Structure 1
Amino acid sequence: MITINATLGTGLYWRGGQVLEVGGALAVPLTFLLVGCLSWAVMQCISEMLCIWPVPGALGVFVGEFVDEELGIATSIAHWFTYAMSFSTLVPTAAGELDFWPGITGNRLVLGGVIYFLIPVALLFVNLFKVETYGIFEVVSGSIKMLFLVTIAGILIAINRGGKLLTTLLTKTAGPDNTGPIGIKYEDWSQATAFDKNAAGDSWFTALLMCISIATFAYVGVEVVAASALEAEINEKPSNNAPFSRSKRLHVMNSTVKFSAIYIPVITTVGYTISGLLASLDMKRNNCGLPKPTWLSIPYDALSNCTGDGTTDGSRSVFVLIAADSHIPHLDDVVNFFLVFTCLTANSTNLYIASRALFGLASRLDEESAGRWHLRFFAWFGTTNSNRVPVRALVFSAAAFGWIPFLQLIHGIDATSGFIEILGEMASVSTLIVWACECLAFIRFYNCVRRHRKYIELQDVPLVQRWSEDPEKYPEYPYRSIGQPYLAYFALAACLFVLLISNGATLWNGFHWLSFLSSYLTILAFLGLWILLKLERAASWSFVNLSEEIQVVAKLRGLNRFRASLAQSQG
């Protein structure tokens, strides 16, 4: 449910409208489907390693152990940055949703005192509860959000008058005036590849690449099971004070980590694709209220002769616009309330993930902290209180970028919207970097245990017997992801393609500084951090050596001991 809460945020509700405006009706379901397949492929790689080693800061551990130690630290920082930054940038998003109602618009007291200050403090307070209590909050709010998504899909179908939807698509017929129940010309979907030429030039393929980049933000969160996997074991108490058996621990991992890692990307992809398809059937892509790329300097009404009853500032969600254009009394208020609730609960989860990512990094630095002030600084966050809550990491993650929303009070919403969008895009790009690093870590892990499988079996190393010829002796390999290692190579290539090609498609029709910074600043900062760590630690510039079987077995045993020590401390 924590993973669902993180994934079902505002990405679909806000980015879906931007995808529709940039790429047209076909781009909406297509991009959500493509990026969803990518997220599933990435999670196949992560889940196989995570089921073996559910440890704090697992994503950084995997990269550090099987690729490069400094790259692992940089990956952990990037993972923390994603959710700490998302926590701060979603606050202005919530303000934009609340701005829908009269009395909030332009009210500096409400914006500064309530939305920008009290709401983040309240979310911080919720995260201070012990994980069992916080988990109840996640279960309830996640269940409500899934109900909201199903309700919104039902509303979209109802607006299309149910059965007439299929008839319209197949026969391309409509009412006497060629319009549907809310004034939409349904036959416009026969021009499903119409796109914003001011943004993408003369190529729909360029627009599609831009939309893939935009839609990626909606899938930020599918990997967060790695942040909560360890705490999933806390509720499992040994009977009669006896230690857990190995099979019992494997059962815990199979029942918690595996389901979240494998099936939630599928559920999310199906939900996003269907909802996006329904939205594209109910809304013309040139509606004035759809959000446009902020890096375009062209006035909105000049983009595509925008029409419709929506506002001309492009600030509303496509789902709110559809509800408003349906002229059903207060339906837009109801849908907007759904979005506000979704945004705030997702933001609470962002803070949870950021704190666990920072704690996971800090807990591994204790032994290295002596003599290095920056490592001592990070190690200070590697402690928990009596409720096992990493309070220091929690407060720091909330405050690190907490100043960002207040920029809107100082400089105004219009003047800061582009800057805040850059920061939000940077968080999305950071997630892709983490995904790419995890795919590379799995590829090296897979090739390592395959190459040394005989020696690993000879040394009786538990948990990693992927190719054991004696399944009765080694029944314990938790999960074998499908299609490997080819799926991992595909996922790595796809991540790099989105990072380097799709994100850069916004520059193909002219250079824009905002677009360049949002697409590549995070990549440059990540590479710079990796190089800085290499120089500071005087480390080798080569990847970790996985060719020596003795060293490999020692590494695997070390990870198993790390896992066992954590489980024992929980018991």
Structure 2
Amino acid sequence: MESHALPNLPSRSSQDNTRGSNELNPPQITSIIVRPSPNRLVKRDLKGVHIIMITVNGTLGIGLYWRGGQILELAGPLAAVLAFFLVGLLCWAVMQCITEMICIWPIPGALSVFVSEFVDAELGIAVGIAYWFSYAVAFGALIATLAAEVDFWTGSGGNKAIDGGVIYLAIPLLLVAINAINVQAYGWIEVVCGTIKIMFLVAIAGILIAINVGAGKQGYIGAKNWSSAKVFDSDAADNWCTAFLMCISLATFAYIGIEIVAASALESAPDPKRGSRENPPGQAMESQASPGSNDWLVANTIMFSTKYICVLATLAYSLSGLLVSFDIPWNHCHLPRLSWINRTAHSDCDASVVMAANTTSAIVAIAIESGVPHLGDIVNVFIVFTCISCAGTMLYVASRVLFGLTSRLDGGASQPWHLRLLAWLGRTSRHGVPVRAMVFSAAAFIWVPFLQLSGGTDTTRPIGLFIETMAQMSSVAVVIVWTSQVLAFIRYYHCIKRHRDVLQKQETPRLSRFNREDPTDYPYRSHAQPVLAYLALAGCLFILLVTNGAFLWKGFHKFPFLSGYLFLIAFAALWIFLKVVRGAKWSFVDLSNPTKVVRKLRKLHDIRLAAA
């Protein structure tokens, strides 16, 4: 039996509303699980190591090698460490909130569904679109960045035949083909790529340390940089504090992908050691149709990712910024800098050198300055590999997000044409792979890099401005998603706290957060809640509204304004548009009625069980 409208499937109840004394004793609610057809289900073949490495590949991307040098040039060595560390703390706090919910409901399109169910339905749709956009556009942006890295060998401006035929066409097609294979084989490819990437990271750290230890010049550079740790680029900012706020915004881009585990959790494989058990010890039966206890494997995998991948990323980025600050002067001509700033502070640098620096990693510049033959080429190979592998992961995430948005739509003949088209994207291949969503995600922005063939990368020109704006907008979209998830968690937390007596009497499974006597019925309790969630919400809003605007404090520039606020404006407009078209109320979801709350939570359980 096929059901495309599962999210709107009402749970059956003997009464619709409760009043007065019945508020703590609402009628018993039972669920009927309706499974989607097989061509709307993904294969649950990813093991824990696959999910972890997919997250590693998506998080440890090109920002690891680019942002450290750019931040060093903008606000000196202290900012190169502190900005990455603070954003890492924020990401950890956000992931605590996401993890607590995703451990209970590892469902398709989870990040969109959580917002729809606990905050606002139209906002949830807008968040899903924003999340898909962020990874689809990041795929195209990484292909454009790959061409810039290859320019290290082909010269400034590159080779149009290589750029157009190989980088912009052949490599994306290869990544599409890799993403189209069965998910278990894809998972092992991610494991291999992730392992190589971690080995590269260790090797580069060793290279930077060896350069510093083996050359007195680098030791002098480090001492000089840190003797005045709060220097700043006077062309970009009037003081160090402003420059540091700009660095926070730049560092945020590097952490895109930290929440990828939410997109891949729905493809996790059952644990063979637990497959014969319906529920963990002490857990109540949650449904007569329960397919098994795969969810506890998912919970363990997600908890591992939350505890260690955020820490790994924070350490990697902070250490990268620290090591770079020891090996190259903060005002070195080869450091990447804000390309849209008129230069006076570095007037002694040749204009061609400054232009080349905008497409060269600081780590490559350090390798070249070391004088070791071909070391710059070796480091650039590392970066090129990182760029390609990260682009493949971005495509994977974009396809799963789009699949989550469309897999439960009703594609019947009675539906409008646009819903039928979207429902068509929510089907999977015989291997259980959402190939249609993946190809659409790849095609959506793959044309953007081709614009560089005629327009170049100069942000003072329209094409260069457009390409860079699209790339930077992906980080804004992700921060919007983080903000919405924290808000959803805050409302979820207060909801189940308010109705905990009702949930206990209804024996609603996996929601005994406040019952410390039975810890087995709640997969994961995040730390210091809800204070941590409020701090995370404040941090996300601070990035969206303050640090992104710090680029404009010394003067208006089109690029930082468009990259920082264009998507935010478009997102708000989309939310308003959906409200008007759907005739929805201008208020958040009502979570005060216990019967409706129990029905809502049961519906989420039904979606989880139907997708298993």
After TM superposition, the score normalised by the length of structure 1 is 0.91
State the match for 2:221 in structure 1.
184
Instruction: Kindly indicate whether the alpha-carbon contact (under 8 Å) linking 1:369 and 1:379 is maintained by their aligned counterparts in 2.
Output: no
Secondary structure, counterpart of 1:329 in structure 2: coil
Q: Please say which of residues 492-501 and 261-270 is displaced more in the overlay.
A: 261-270
Equivalent-residue separation in structure 2 for 1:530 and 1:212 (angstroms): 27
Q: Please say which of residues 40-49 and 554-563 is displaced more in the overlay.
A: 554-563
Instruction: Kindly indicate whether the alpha-carbon contact (under 8 Å) linking 2:222 and 2:325 is maintained by their aligned counterparts in 1.
Output: no
State the match for 2:6 in structure 1.
none
State the match for 1:205 in structure 2.
241
Equivalent-residue separation in structure 2 for 1:345 and 1:111 (angstroms): 18
Q: In structure 2, do the counterparts of structure 1 residues 128 and 104 end up closer, same or farther at CA, with 3 Å as the change threshold?
A: farther
Secondary structure, counterpart of 2:72 in structure 1: helix
Q: After superposition, give the CA deviation of every residue in 1:317-350 in whole Å (9 maximum; x if it has no partner).
A: 0100011111011111111000000010000000
Q: In structure 2, do the counterparts of structure 1 residues 290 and 370 end up closer, same or farther at CA, with 3 Å as the change threshold?
A: farther
Equivalent-residue separation in structure 2 for 1:478 and 1:283 (angstroms): 47
Cα deviation, residue 262, structure 1: 3.0
Cα deviation, residue 468, structure 1: 1.9
Match for residue 148 of structure 2 among 96, 102, 111: 96
State the match for 1:303 in structure 2.
345
Instruction: Kindly indicate whether the alpha-carbon contact (under 8 Å) linking 2:218 and 2:328 is maintained by their aligned counterparts in 1.
Output: no
Instruction: Kindly indicate whether the alpha-carbon contact (under 8 Å) linking 2:271 and 2:294 is maintained by their aligned counterparts in 1.
Output: no
Match for residue 371 of structure 2 among 327, 339, 342: 327
State the match for 1:233 in structure 2.
269
Matches within 5 A, 1:262-341: 262-296=307-341, 298-299=342-343, 302-305=344-347, 311-313=353-355, 314=357, 315-341=359-385
State the match for 1:509 in structure 2.
554
1:422 is aligned to 2:459: no
Q: After superposition, give the CA deviation of every residue in 1:220-247 in whole Å (9 maximum; x if it has no partner).
A: 00001000001013675986xx675456
Cα deviation, residue 250, structure 1: 4.2
Amino acid at match of 1:232: S
Instruction: Kindly indicate whether the alpha-carbon contact (under 8 Å) linking 1:351 and 1:398 is maintained by their aligned counterparts in 2.
Output: yes
Equivalent-residue separation in structure 2 for 1:134 and 1:461 (angstroms): 36
State the match for 2:492 in structure 1.
445
C-alpha RMSD over aligned residues: 2.1
Equivalent-residue separation in structure 1 for 2:584 and 2:414 (angstroms): 17
State the match for 1:46 in structure 2.
98
Secondary structure, counterpart of 2:235 in structure 1: helix
Equivalent-residue separation in structure 1 for 2:415 and 2:526 (angstroms): 42
Amino acid at match of 2:498: R
State the match for 2:567 in structure 1.
522
Matches within 5 A, 1:376-525: 376-414=420-458, 415=461, 416-468=463-515, 470-471=517-518, 475-525=520-570
State the match for 1:144 in structure 2.
196
Instruction: Kindly indicate whether the alpha-carbon contact (under 8 Å) linking 1:289 and 1:310 is maintained by their aligned counterparts in 2.
Output: no
Q: Please say which of residues 418-427 and 400-409 is displaced more in the overlay.
A: 418-427
Equivalent-residue separation in structure 1 for 2:413 and 2:521 (angstroms): 36
Equivalent-residue separation in structure 2 for 1:565 and 1:184 (angstroms): 60
Secondary structure, counterpart of 2:335 in structure 1: coil
Equivalent-residue separation in structure 2 for 1:483 and 1:520 (angstroms): 32
Q: After superposition, give the CA deviation of every residue in 1:55-76 in whole Å (9 maximum; x if it has no partner).
A: 0011001101100011111111
State the match for 2:3 in structure 1.
none
Instruction: Kindly indicate whether the alpha-carbon contact (under 8 Å) linking 2:150 and 2:158 is maintained by their aligned counterparts in 1.
Output: no
Equivalent-residue separation in structure 2 for 1:125 and 1:328 (angstroms): 38
Q: Please say which of residues 56-65 and 362-371 is displaced more in the overlay.
A: 362-371
Amino acid at match of 2:242: T
**Residue correspondences, number:** 544
Equivalent-residue separation in structure 2 for 1:479 and 1:226 (angstroms): 15
Amino acid at match of 2:229: A
Match for residue 388 of structure 2 among 339, 344, 361: 344
Instruction: Kindly indicate whether the alpha-carbon contact (under 8 Å) linking 2:104 and 2:510 is maintained by their aligned counterparts in 1.
Output: yes
Secondary structure, counterpart of 2:268 in structure 1: helix
Instruction: Kindly indicate whether the alpha-carbon contact (under 8 Å) linking 1:196 and 1:304 is maintained by their aligned counterparts in 2.
Output: no
1:196 is aligned to 2:233: yes
1:357 is aligned to 2:401: yes
Q: After superposition, give the CA deviation of every residue in 1:283-326 in whole Å (9 maximum; x if it has no partner).
A: 11211122221222x14xx3334569993312210100011111
Instruction: Kindly indicate whether the alpha-carbon contact (under 8 Å) linking 2:146 and 2:387 is maintained by their aligned counterparts in 1.
Output: yes
Amino acid at match of 1:455: V
State the match for 1:130 in structure 2.
182
State the match for 2:12 in structure 1.
none
Amino acid at match of 2:377: D
Secondary structure, counterpart of 2:338 in structure 1: coil
Moved over 6 A (4+): none
State the match for 2:33 in structure 1.
none
State the match for 1:171 in structure 2.
none
Equivalent-residue separation in structure 1 for 2:305 and 2:225 (angstroms): 39
State the match for 2:5 in structure 1.
none
State the match for 1:10 in structure 2.
62
Equivalent-residue separation in structure 1 for 2:268 and 2:185 (angstroms): 13
State the match for 1:256 in structure 2.
301
Q: After superposition, give the CA deviation of every residue in 1:155-190 in whole Å (9 maximum; x if it has no partner).
A: 11111117x9xxxxxxxxxx6xxx446x73632321
Amino acid at match of 1:223: E
Equivalent-residue separation in structure 2 for 1:30 and 1:337 (angstroms): 28
Instruction: Kindly indicate whether the alpha-carbon contact (under 8 Å) linking 1:64 and 1:73 is maintained by their aligned counterparts in 2.
Output: yes
Q: In structure 2, do the counterparts of structure 1 residues 195 and 121 end up closer, same or farther at CA, with 3 Å as the change threshold?
A: same
Match for residue 131 of structure 2 among 43, 62, 79: 79
Q: In structure 2, do the counterparts of structure 1 residues 373 and 538 end up closer, same or farther at CA, with 3 Å as the change threshold?
A: farther
Equivalent-residue separation in structure 1 for 2:62 and 2:413 (angstroms): 39
Equivalent-residue separation in structure 1 for 2:95 and 2:547 (angstroms): 21
Instruction: Kindly indicate whether the alpha-carbon contact (under 8 Å) linking 2:222 and 2:326 is maintained by their aligned counterparts in 1.
Output: no
Amino acid at match of 1:210: M
Match for residue 82 of structure 2 among 30, 46, 50: 30
Q: In structure 2, do the counterparts of structure 1 residues 138 and 24 end up closer, same or farther at CA, with 3 Å as the change threshold?
A: same
Secondary structure, counterpart of 1:366 in structure 2: coil
State the match for 1:63 in structure 2.
115
Equivalent-residue separation in structure 1 for 2:524 and 2:464 (angstroms): 44
Equivalent-residue separation in structure 1 for 2:122 and 2:334 (angstroms): 45
Secondary structure, counterpart of 1:406 in structure 2: helix
After TM superposition, the score normalised by the length of structure 2 is 0.85
Instruction: Kindly indicate whether the alpha-carbon contact (under 8 Å) linking 1:370 and 1:376 is maintained by their aligned counterparts in 2.
Output: no
Equivalent-residue separation in structure 1 for 2:583 and 2:348 (angstroms): 57
Instruction: Kindly indicate whether the alpha-carbon contact (under 8 Å) linking 2:222 and 2:327 is maintained by their aligned counterparts in 1.
Output: no
Cα deviation, residue 417, structure 1: 3.0
Cα deviation, residue 541, structure 1: 1.0
Q: After superposition, give the CA deviation of every residue in 1:510-559 in whole Å (9 maximum; x if it has no partner).
A: 01111110100010011111111111111111111100111100111111
Equivalent-residue separation in structure 2 for 1:236 and 1:523 (angstroms): 45
State the match for 1:168 in structure 2.
none
Equivalent-residue separation in structure 1 for 2:570 and 2:448 (angstroms): 19
Q: After superposition, give the CA deviation of every residue in 1:474-512 in whole Å (9 maximum; x if it has no partner).
A: 622000000100000000010000000000001100011
Secondary structure, counterpart of 2:529 in structure 1: coil
Percent of pairs with identical residues: 53
